[in-house]
């Protein structure tokens, strides 16, 4: 059995959604596709696909094997290009994830430029404030804000963002501008997980490098940064979000940032990807393209 051929067939079947569609796309008879997938399953001693008259789906083992097969074939292709000295243009699909607002403001413009330059690449951009798993979700690149925990992943730092307290100018004119973190206890707050716990906010006094914890009084709890900023701009209370999330509202003077000298240390922003001896050309090209652009935007 040619395992590389079997891997390619499995990928084609998963992409096409059926054995017959994969066979038509590849010009391979349906019985041949079915036989080779069965041989692969027998070799692995596990079921990769569940089949019915209406649909085909990958088993858990099939999903894991498919992700590994894609990585293996990508690395083989990269090794062949490297050995032959070929300078072929990158091609294929890239899957990228980023936080919702950061992705819309910063990642999307860079990807738009990248697609214009490389017409043989397609990108699937997943915007989510939940940290997706690169391996399980078969992602190529992810934007991570904050300390990194998984040392098995490779990371490229592109900048940092601040955690800021803010409110509307009219609110501060009526209620007073807080001078110290403890002043926040007298003001209503709009909280937004994960950066705004409902009962306290943590700060760092920059002169003494001393950590401070200030009790807050949450009047409104929301689940998106946009909602927290809109509520603060409307005078509901003070809120705490990341600096890039509130940058546009601050430029429009709808929001004023306070307590800057008590902000905790900035949070790092990294592009992470699975560590591989041979990085697929399309991944390396996007990293090389996006890194300086994101650094410039975050500078």
What 3-state DSSP class applies to 243?
helix
Domain of residue 287, CATH code: 3.40.190.10
- Please give the pLDDT value at position 50: 84
The alpha carbon of 169 is separated from its chain's Cα centroid by a whole number of angstroms, namely 33
Which of 65, 84, 103 is the last residue in one of the domains?
A: 84
- Please give the pLDDT value at position 124: 94
The reply to whether 41 and 55 lie within a common domain is yes
- Please give the pLDDT value at position 153: 76
The reply to whether 125 and 273 lie within a common domain is yes
Q: Which residue has the tokens 């040619």?
A: 2
The reply to whether 208 and 80 lie within a common domain is no
Domain that holds residue 16: 3-84
Is the distance from CB of 144 to CB of 175 less than 8 angstroms? no
| CA–CA distance, 229 with 168 (Å, rounded to integer) | 9
Please name the residues in contact with 260: beta carbons below 8 A apart, sequence gap of 6 or more.
164
- Please give the pLDDT value at position 51: 72
The reply to whether 277 and 210 lie within a common domain is no
Neighbours of 170 (CB within 10 A): 13
The reply to whether 102 and 178 lie within a common domain is no
Whether pTM > 0.85 for this model: the answer is no
The reply to whether 229 and 183 lie within a common domain is yes
- Sequence-ordered strand ranges (E) for the chain: 49-51, 56-58, 92-98, 121-127, 141-145, 153-161, 163-167, 188-192, 200-205, 210-215, 217-222, 238-242, 256-258, 267-274
Is the distance from CB of 106 to CB of 290 less than 8 angstroms? no
The reply to whether 238 and 172 lie within a common domain is yes
The reply to whether 257 and 222 lie within a common domain is yes
- Please give the pLDDT value at position 165: 97
Task: Give me the long-range contacts of 103-108 (CB less than 8 A, separation at least 24).
Answer: 103/127, 103/143, 105/244, 105/247, 106/244, 106/294, 106/297, 106/298, 107/143, 107/290, 107/294
The reply to whether 184 and 257 lie within a common domain is yes
The reply to whether 151 and 272 lie within a common domain is yes
Number of domains in the chain: 3
pLDDT, block means (10 residues), the chain with 299 residues: 84 84 85 88 88 75 84 74 60 91 95 94 92 81 88 86 96 96 96 76 88 94 92 97 94 96 94 75 91 93
């Amino acid at each position: 059995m040619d395992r590389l051929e079997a891997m390619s067939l499995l990928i084609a079947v998963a992409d096409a959604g059926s054995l017959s569609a994969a066979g038509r796309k590849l010009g391979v008879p349906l019985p041949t596709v079915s036989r080779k997938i069965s041989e692969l399953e027998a070799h692995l001693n596990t079921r990769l696909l569940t089949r019915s008259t209406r649909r085909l789906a990958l088993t858990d083992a099939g999903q894991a094997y498919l992700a590994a097969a894609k990585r293996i074939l990508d690395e083989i292709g990269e090794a062949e290009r490297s050995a032959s000295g070929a300078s072929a243009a990158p091609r294929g699909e890239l899957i990228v994830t980023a936080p919702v607002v950061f992705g819309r403001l910063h990642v999307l413009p860079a990807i738009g430029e990248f697609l214009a330059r490389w017409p043989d690449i397609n990108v699937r951009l997943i915007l989510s404030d939940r940290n997706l798993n690169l391996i399980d979700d078969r992602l190529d690149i992810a934007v991570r804000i904050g300390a990194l925990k998984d040392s098995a992943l490779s990371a490229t730092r592109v900048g940092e963002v601040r955690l800021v307290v803010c409110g509307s100018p009219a609110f501060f004119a009526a209620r007073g501008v807080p001078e110290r973190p403890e002043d926040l206890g007298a003001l209503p707050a709009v909280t937004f997980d994960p950066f705004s716990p409902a009962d306290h906010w943590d700060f760092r006094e920059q002169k003494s490098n001393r950590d401070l914890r200030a009790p807050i009084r949450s009047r409104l709890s929301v689940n998106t940064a946009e909602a927290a900023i809109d509520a603060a701009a409307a005078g509901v209370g003070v809120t705490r979000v990341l600096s890039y999330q509130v940058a546009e509202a601050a430029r429009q003077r709808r929001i004023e940032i306070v307590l800057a000298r008590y902000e905790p240390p900035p949070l790092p922003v990294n592009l992470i990807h699975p560590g591989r001896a041979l990085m697929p050309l399309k991944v390396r090209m996007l990293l090389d393209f996006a890194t300086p652009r994101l650094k410039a935007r975050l500078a």
